[in-house]
Amino acid sequence: MPELNSKVYMIERASWRDLLALSALEKACFERDAWPLLDVMGVLTFLSVVRMRAMGDGELIGFIAGDPNKEKKTAWILTLGVLPDWRRMGIAETLLRMCEEEMHMPLVKLTVRRSNAAAIRLYEKFGYTQVDIWPKYYRGGEDGLVLAKEMTWV
């Protein structure tokens, strides 16, 4: 019998109830860059933040948060992560697309470690381009690349 290379998942809105699961996902995805619990709580409760979770096998397997600023007409993707066992199935793409749509801003920006080839490929595939470098932005002294995408909403 052929092996299935994709699994069933659902995208839903996330809430403060995801606190512990999201904290665990952050550690699995970001290791030394993982947010402390207080930041995880913030991203799950700040009113302006758009947050979505991917659920598979009844567990939190992916998460995205974005912060749209109406005055600046710019949104920042704050975090995006998918658990290792669920990668390369299009979950990050789905989360990113849905977050962009929900924020509905003319410009979306984010930062990524210079060495994070997988994430950079994902963002480039989505039309993000590098607009800045923040030297030594990340723990350990690695540069942060600032990527941006102008959105065309019809």
Ligand X SMILES: CC(C)(COP(=O)(O)OP(=O)(O)OC[C@H]1O[C@@H](n2cnc3c(N)ncnc32)[C@H](O)[C@@H]1OP(=O)(O)O)[C@@H](O)C(=O)NCCC(=O)NCCS
Of 55, 124, 129, 151, nearest to 95 (Cα)?
A: 55
Closest CB to ligand X among residues 10, 47: 10
Closest CB to ligand X among residues 27, 87: 87
| Cα atoms found within 13 Å of the Cα of residue 20, Cβ hemisphere only | 1
Alpha helices in 60-137 (DSSP H): 91-103, 117-125
Binding flag, residue 148, ligand X (CB under 6 A): no
Binding flag, residue 144, ligand X (CB under 6 A): no
Which range, of 13-21, 97-105, 110-118, 135-143, touches ligand X by CB under 6 A? Answer: 110-118
Contact 80, 95 (CB under 8 A): yes
Taking CB under 6 A as the criterion, the residue among 72, 121, 136, 139 binding ligand X is 121
Write out the binding residues for ligand X, residues 39-98 only, by CB under 6 A: 80-82, 87-93
Rounded-to-integer distance, Cα 55 and Cα 123, Å: 22
Taking CB under 6 A as the criterion, the residue among 20, 37, 118, 133 binding ligand X is 118
CA 47 to chain CA centroid, nearest Å:
18
Closest CB to ligand X among residues 27, 107: 27
